[in-house]
Structure 1
Amino acid sequence: MKNLVSSGVLGRWQTWAGFGVAAVLLFAVAPAVLSDFRLSLLGKFLCFAIVAVGIGLAWGRGGMLVLGQGVFFGLGGYMMGMHLKIADAQLRGEAVPDFMQIAGVRELPGYWEPFASPAFTLTAILVAPTAIAVALGYGVFKRRVKGAYFAILSQALAAAMAILLVGQTSLGGSNGLNRFRTFFGFTLNDPVNRRMLYFIAAATLLLVVAVARQLMYSRYGELLVAVRDSEERVRFLGYDPANIKVAAYAVAALFASIAGALFTPIVGFIAPSQVGILPSIAFLIGVAIGGRTTLLGPVLGAIGVAWAQTVFSERFPSEWTYAQGLLFIVVVGFFPAGLAGLAGVRSLLNRRRRSDSPASVAEPEPQGTTEEKVGVPT
């Protein structure tokens, strides 16, 4: 019992120490060593990491291969972009955003009007994608759709969403929404405000990781892993696997929506190219490479892949796509637990070496009868 208590205390201290190190790196080291451009680029990568945390929860822990997270990422991004465009138009004293004026639109569409309110926009970013994920999850998981069928369905949803957005001239068509000037009253061209956006993204990532950790190491997290490993056994024990899956899928959608809402002002645009199949697969690649079953693996994988894409695509624009595909094939084929799994294999080998060493061999128990060992009087 004493060993269990001490190990629990040690685990909590390690968790707090890990969050402390991450906070120092994100809030002190990165702003000190990176230029404003590179810091804004890191803020973009942190948005991808927020999406990856949700994928790690749904795919790594729940076994749901989510290939349509670009849908929820795009929903959050477009809702934030709609509010920013309305705010910019109001500052200029105009009734509609600039791209609508070019298209000859003189009146704001009805579904745009509620996004003039900051409170409504933030609420919609949190509620709408989550509600859509819950409705879609119940429709799919209650029918026991899983595996490759669920992956294909989610990917088809992403493709349909991208095609729909391209045809919507009231949402900018294939160009999307761009050229934002303000963010809730703050000028986006100001370097101080750009840093503020980075700090918001960094704080959100830490909060999302904390929420994911709480879910993973709770009773719900144990049920989620049980559903992944043996769904029928969980159903036999009296739990509904569909409800457990829906919760994880909704949380992943919520994280993706928040990431999209932060991505829009940080990068300065949101378009159908961030919603379709390719970005959804790119999110998945980072999670797979980092290690989908771990807590920090998806975060580090998403940031690392996004950073590598930026660096190498600048020098080798045509070769990077092939290198990214090859890296994904190698990791999935030879390291299914991701790069984070290499550390687990190394620690397992170290424990085996220690257990096989002569010093670790336990002394033989004293000879005696069974009654004497358990304390039964003779």
Structure 2
Amino acid sequence: MNTFYDRWLGGRQGAIGLLLLALLIFIILPLFLDIYRLNNVGKYLTYAFAAVSLVMLWGHAGILSLGQGIFFGVGGYCMAMYLKLEASDPASTARQTTPGIPDFMDWNQITQLPLFWEPFHSLPFTILAIFVVPAVLAYIVGAAMFKRRVGGVYFAIITQAIAAILTILVVGQQGYTGGINGITDLKTLHGWNINTDSAKYILYYINGVLLVGVILLCRYVLSSKLGRLLLAMRDKEDRVRFSGYDVSNFKIFVFSLSAIISAIGGAMFTLQVGFMSPTFVGIVPSIEMVILAAVGGRLSLIGAVYGALLVNYGKSAFSETFPALWLFLMGGLFIGVVMFFPNGLAGLYQTYLKPSVDRFLDKLTRKSSAVKPAALSDKKEAVE
């Protein structure tokens, strides 16, 4: 019990924070929001996966990636490929020149389904690909960089360049990827209509459960010896290396783990929103994901979720009125947080609210411990 409480839940403070987040996601928001707004919140929560992955990668391992959109997009495209194939059955595409293939392939005069699309007829393969493809891609990039001790700003620039290259590749190969329009008109998941209101509710809850599960997993990793080594590597990398540890392997592991977490968010985004396009793969969304982690607190897993909710809500509200100014506001927000609130919302909580919460919890603990002996004494007297 103590192992689960301390390592998975993060002790008393971690358990309370996770409980409050669960109440917000699973009870409060569904009670007070209609399905349209709740679906928007579900979309914001998919970005929270990327923010949580950056807390692991940037906050605890000291590796700043400006390309998390790569893995978010890979997970999203894997899911979109399965959904598109299911929506492109011969009956639904009978009017095409070549029935049975996605419409954008038919428009680009492709007459046969490409070989790399074939396995995505299978849902189990698709789910496996959402985990394996980003992990393999991250391993290749990580091994190429970290084994050569490339890090810091150079690694950040390289990941940004890879995000740009992948965006150009997706847009350029329109016949195979849907191009700039992406993969759209997604209808069913294994025969289940994902566009109904009831389906959106179910997907919202699945999204929330997966997010809580990812937070628990990350807490377990951070509370282990590996987590302590990641912090030591972030602060004194040379000392960890001189102690006999292979620092590059730790970096590759946490980079691959963060890639898988981001890909889960991308897959849920595709299900929640109903399409996937290269606009969620490139440099701009990757930088926005860094901002989400910075605003929430790059050392706090739960703070990253609140950062994702707050920033994305602000983006939706502000961009409706001043769409041209939103990017400037995002840049100013990032600079302001880094300069004045380096630990984000979680840092503000630690500084101003945590002392009051601790005093309140201590009072409750003392009262409960005082009530128990009194109750036992009354019971003893009654027996006598």
Equivalent-residue separation in structure 2 for 1:314 and 1:160 (angstroms): 30
- Does structure 1 conserve the Cα–Cα contact (< 8 Å) formed by 2:49 and 2:262? yes
Equivalent-residue separation in structure 1 for 2:235 and 2:70 (angstroms): 27
Equivalent-residue separation in structure 1 for 2:243 and 2:73 (angstroms): 38
Q: Which amino acid aligns with 1:210?
A: L
**Aligned-partner SS, 2:186:** coil
Unaligned runs of 5+ in 1: 351-378
Partner residue, 2:246:
240
String of CA shifts for 1:148-194, please: whole Å, max 9, x gaps.
00100110010000000011121111111011111222112211011
1:63 has 2:62 as partner? yes
Partner residue, 2:223:
217
- Does structure 1 conserve the Cα–Cα contact (< 8 Å) formed by 2:10 and 2:219? no
Q: Deviation at 1:196?
A: 1.2
Equivalent-residue separation in structure 1 for 2:328 and 2:21 (angstroms): 32
TM-score of the two chains, using structure 2 as the length reference: 0.86
1:164 has 2:163 as partner? no
- Does structure 1 conserve the Cα–Cα contact (< 8 Å) formed by 2:51 and 2:305? yes
Q: Which amino acid aligns with 2:149?
A: R
**Aligned-partner SS, 1:248:** helix
Q: Which amino acid aligns with 1:126?
A: F
Which of 249, 252, 255 does residue 258 from structure 2 map onto?
252
- Does structure 1 conserve the Cα–Cα contact (< 8 Å) formed by 2:296 and 2:305? yes
Partner residue, 1:125:
130
Equivalent-residue separation in structure 2 for 1:241 and 1:63 (angstroms): 12
Q: 1:234 to 1:20 in 2, by over 3 A?
A: same
**Aligned-partner SS, 2:50:** helix
Partner residue, 2:368:
none
- Does structure 1 conserve the Cα–Cα contact (< 8 Å) formed by 2:17 and 2:302? no
**Aligned-partner SS, 2:299:** coil
- Does structure 2 conserve the Cα–Cα contact (< 8 Å) formed by 1:290 and 1:298? yes
Matches within 5 A, 1:322-337: 322-337=328-343
Partner residue, 1:100:
105
Equivalent-residue separation in structure 1 for 2:269 and 2:16 (angstroms): 28
Equivalent-residue separation in structure 2 for 1:347 and 1:283 (angstroms): 26
Partner residue, 2:370:
none
Q: Deviation at 1:95?
A: 1.4
Aligned residues: 346
Q: Deviation at 1:221?
A: 0.7
Unaligned runs of 5+ in 2: 94-98, 357-384
Equivalent-residue separation in structure 1 for 2:6 and 2:258 (angstroms): 28
Equivalent-residue separation in structure 2 for 1:337 and 1:11 (angstroms): 19
- Does structure 2 conserve the Cα–Cα contact (< 8 Å) formed by 1:331 and 1:339? no
Q: Which amino acid aligns with 2:26?
A: F
Give the superposed CA RMSD: 2.1
State the percentage of identical aligned residues: 43
TM-score of the two chains, using structure 1 as the length reference: 0.87
Q: Deviation at 1:8?
A: 6.0
More helix per residue: 1 or 2?
Answer: 2
